[in-house]
Structure 1
């Protein structure tokens, strides 16, 4: 009896179900299933696919290690976006850093100017400190005026002047009233000029220059002693002894330099003391016709103008010694003097 085809085919023992396989394995199985039914061949077992699974270290289960997908998610820059607060904080930190860098650059490029400014400020502070110290000391009661001394007086009484200035006592030296001192000293006509010297801490010295009388002018029945500026010094009904009588017109030199009085006063100031003591009367109508008479002998001296007065005075002194009995001495031309 003929057996059916495939009857004597060996039966392959059943195998346990294989684990899930990838798509290529499934295609291989379908390809085997699609083989001809009457064909007897060797059944090939599928090759298992081994996954690249990291081995866990001893004592650690594979489930405890993060998977590759988890590690990829952790290292990705887009795994976690910053919040608005974190962005604001980062921006503020960046701005602070930029400002710090800018300040450093500014300080580096302005180092020289800052040193120069610091030097000027230090010098100004020193000067201000000195000024403040001087001001505090100067205006303190320690420098209040307590003593007044007047020097240079001969006709004037120094004590009288000091009493006149007593209203300045108690005032700090830098705050003395100079206008008040000038007004007080103006009450003394004999004072021609003065200077005020401060002697800290509490004294001043006033040096007075008195007016020097040069002659006497007659005003009616009175005789007034005047100086070269025609300032009255004293007045009396009797002519003062030792001073010449000035018979000249015009004002002093500070008012009219071409007046007769200015020329006569200039000649008297140029004469030596011994010659001036012999002058009795001096007259001058203009600045070019000065003449005077000598006391005792009555001799006349023709002087001319006030120019070259020092040279004319020397010539007159020599003539008085060489020709003491002459009645006329002409020194109007100092290089050609005559007597008569």
Structure 2
């Protein structure tokens, strides 16, 4: 590779001329810069005595101990300069008492930390345990309440209250249930109660109600009489099911006689009883006889002799409304017969 032109080695005279300057540079403690000389080209012409090179002055660095540290060159912090300097020595000797205090404080801090960690990792199990404990506590309280209410003498039956009894004396019902007195309310034998009350034929149904701490309420529904049946000994007052409510030698006042040729259990009797039950109370009290040979030929007779052709027991409620309207417009005695077998087209005769 060829050197660029102008950088050939300088002649010997030039080196001698530059000698004192280099010596001066060495005396100053810096390394002299090496002068580049141009080499003569082979076969070429020698350059002139002038040399094209650059002389550099050495740079002298200050000593390391004369350079200020960076931390000393920083501006002082106003917030730090305003704080009072600590008067305690940094490297004060640790006494045995102080060491024990620090050890106890470290142990307490360690225990608190471990406790918090245990709580943090076991909160789900603790919550599940609390739920189970609450459920078991509730169950135990309920069982205790049931046992106390069942076997405690505070819940023993002392009073029997009868409601709805008119034809049946209330005293008879209470005396029939005296065997249950002293028994805790949850342990009352209701099968025995039913057996005792079924002996009263006038009681159609009943409902019992327990009133803690010691009262039993018996609500009675008595049978409703619908008419009287003619018998050899007199008259039997019966309800819609044919159950005899009362027997007497004379006809009961306010009740019509039922003429059912096939007997109490026949379809004619059931149809006649259904018709009487559908009539209003003011019309029922003026009836004299109800005749029903079959379910489709029910006939009513008033005390004055007027007749009502009723027909079957179907639509009895509607027929009762139509008959009441006809009696208002045509009172009993002014008409011989009311025909409501077809209630949409009633006929007066």
TM-score category (smaller protein): 0.5 to 0.7
Contact 2:180 2:189 survives alignment (8 Å): yes
- Residues 1:228 and 2:240 aligned together: yes
Residue 309 (structure 1) aligned with residue 316 (structure 2): yes
Q: Does 1:339 pair with 2:343?
A: no
> SS at 2:341's partner residue?
coil
How do residues 136-285 of structure 1 correspond to structure 2 at under 5 angstroms?
136-248=148-260, 259-285=267-293
Q: How does 1:29-108 map to 2 (within 5 A)?
A: none
Provide the C-alpha distance between the structure 2 equivalents of 1:112 and 1:217, rounded to a whole number of angstroms: 80
> Contact conserved, 2:149 with 2:186, CA < 8 A, in 1?
no
Secondary structure of the residue aligned to 1:122 is: helix
Q: Distance in 2 between matches of 1:169 and 1:205?
A: 13
Shift of 1:249: 5.0
TM-score, normalization: structure 1? 0.62
Q: CA deviation at 1:225?
A: 0.7
> How many residue pairs get matched?
230
The Cα of 1:248 is off from its aligned counterpart by 2.2
Whether the aligned pair in 2 keeps the contact of 1:214 and 1:228 (CA below 8 Å) is yes
Once the two structures are TM-superposed, the CA of residue 129 in structure 1 deviates from its matched residue by: 2.4
Measured in 1, the distance between the counterparts of 2:185 and 2:179 equals 13
Whether 1:330 aligns to 2:342 is: no
Distance 1:220 1:114 in 2: 86
Find the residue that maps to 1:335 and give its secondary structure.
Answer: helix
Task: Give the Å deviation of 1:237.
Answer: 2.3
Query: Contact 2:238–2:244 at 8 Å: present in 1 too?
Result: yes
- Report the Cα distance in structure 2 between the residues aligned to 1:116 and 1:249, rounded to whole angstroms: 77
Q: Please tell me whether the aligned partners of residues 230 and 251 of structure 1 are also in contact (alpha carbons under 8 angstroms).
A: no
| Partner Cα distance (1:158, 1:189) in 2 | 14
